[in-house]
Amino acid sequence: MKKQEAIVVEEGVIELEKEETQEIQESEPESVKSEDVKSEDVNTIPGVGAATAEKLISSGYDTLLSISVTSPRELVQVAGVTDATARKMIQYAREKLDLGFESGEDVLKKRETIEKIYSGSKALDNLLGGGFETRAITEAYASYGSGKTQIGHALATNCLKQFPDSTVVYIDTESTFRPERIISIAKNIDLDPDDALKRIKVARAFNSDHQVILAEKVEELIKNGLNVKLVVVDSLTAHFRAEFVGRGTLADRQQKINKHLHTLMKLAELYNLAVYVTNQVMSKPDVFFGDPTEAIGGHIVAHASTYRMYLRRGKKGSRVAKLVDSPNLPEGEAIFNITETGIKDV
């Protein structure tokens, strides 16, 4: 139900065969490019038979893109379908192409349902506007030992405390998930450690393909009744970085990361959950002024993350988070400490 509310933007098209759409999307070949989808034959639209397709094509409606941007009335005229069918067709094409338009009012309503997960440090939460938002991807990028993983543990534990019936999914690509850490953080916030560990679903991702599949599986967990409020992917990019070496494979890598991020964003949007991803940095030997480091994954990750913070070591063992890119918050910095019992204000 939640899913339909989130996707269906027009009244009267609620009954588009969700299952059918889903099936078709899932059976898509791995490397479908958006261009391919745009020019996809109108024959693939559920419920469109050969005769209707013929009429559409002869009237110039030969791609999903052309269908997605037309009006129901127009389709009724050229293809002789009912108004309801025309709407379903348009809706289907828009979903396939990710062209969901919403009114500003709808967006505002959605934003009112956003929840914020605490890190344990008020300063860090405030930097992000009060906490790590649901319906968003928050990315922390930094070099090793900066606290990316520690933040993941703290968020996971706090999330379980804040949402008593919730589940956290932790996709661990570097084998750095530590139950002991969850236990010590939980004890500190009066959360039963056994309960906390039970409600964290940890999955080791052995390679990037596995990681992608695990993210896709989260939807199943939710459909099976788990109230997933947070998905941690630590690290988002390490496998990709290790597996795709050299310029020639860079485009493939970016395309795969892009798809993975899209899966995560969709989860965040549809199920009102928070996504926290970590990212390494690489050094840019050609930069002489400013920070000579850059996040892995480049523009793709930068673009997909709703909030990005850059972490670095501060004075006296503290850590500094800098908000780098945010749709609605000023850039700023927060200082916090990593402690045995989690992330704390200085």
- Residue number with the shortest CB distance to Mg ion? 149
339, interface contact from Mg ion, ligand GTP, none, CB < 5-8 Å by kind: ligand GTP
329 touches 128 (CB < 8 A): yes
Whole-number Å distance between alpha carbons of 60 and 96: 19
Nearer to Mg ion, 148 or 229 (CB): 148
Site string for ligand GTP, 262-301 (x = CB under 6 A): ------------------x---------------------
Q: Of the ranges 63-71, 218-226, 284-292, 336-344, which one interacts with ligand GTP (CB under 6 A)?
A: 336-344
Q: 307 — phi, psi (to 5°)?
A: -125, 135
Q: Tokens 């034959």 identify what position? A: 41
Partners of 273 in the β-ladder: none
Q: What is the largest CA-CA distance in the chain?
A: 73
x/- map, 129-148, ligand GTP, by CB under 6 A: -------------x-xxxxx
According to CB under 5 A, which residues from 161 to 200 bind Mg ion? Answer: 176
- Shortest distance, CB of residue 24 to ligand GTP, whole angstroms? 38
> By the 8 A CB rule, do 46 and 20 touch?
yes
Residue tagged 């706090």 (tokens): 158
Q: Which of the choices ligand GTP, Mg ion, none does residue 142 contact, using the CB cut-off of 5 to 8 A by kind?
A: ligand GTP
- Residue 6: count of CB within 10 angstroms of its CB: 18
Where is 95: in which H helix or E strand? helix 83-97
Q: Which is nearer to ligand GTP, 52 or 279 (CB)?
A: 279
Token pair belonging to 166: 């919730």
- Distance between CA 52 and CA 55 in Å, rounded? 5
Assess 180 for contact with ligand GTP (CB under 6 A).
no
Which lies closer to ligand GTP via its Cβ, residue 150 or residue 211? 150
Structure tokens at 40: 């996809």
Q: CB of residue 183 vs Mg ion: minimum separation in angstroms?
A: 19
Choosing among Mg ion, ligand GTP, none, which partner's interface includes residue 154 (Cβ < 5 to 8 Å by kind)? Answer: none
The residue within the footprint of Mg ion, chosen from 70, 85, 149, 157 (CB under 5 A), is 149
Nearest approach, Cβ of residue 284 and Mg ion (Å): 21
Instruction: Say if residue 136 is exposed, middle or buried (CB neighbours under 10 Å; 0-12, 13-18, 19+).
Output: buried
Q: Is residue 63 within 8 Å of residue 56, measured between CB atoms? A: no
Q: Pick between residue 149 and residue 157 the one whose CB is nearest to ligand GTP.
A: 149
Contact positions vs ligand GTP (CB under 6 A): 142, 144-150, 176, 280, 338-340
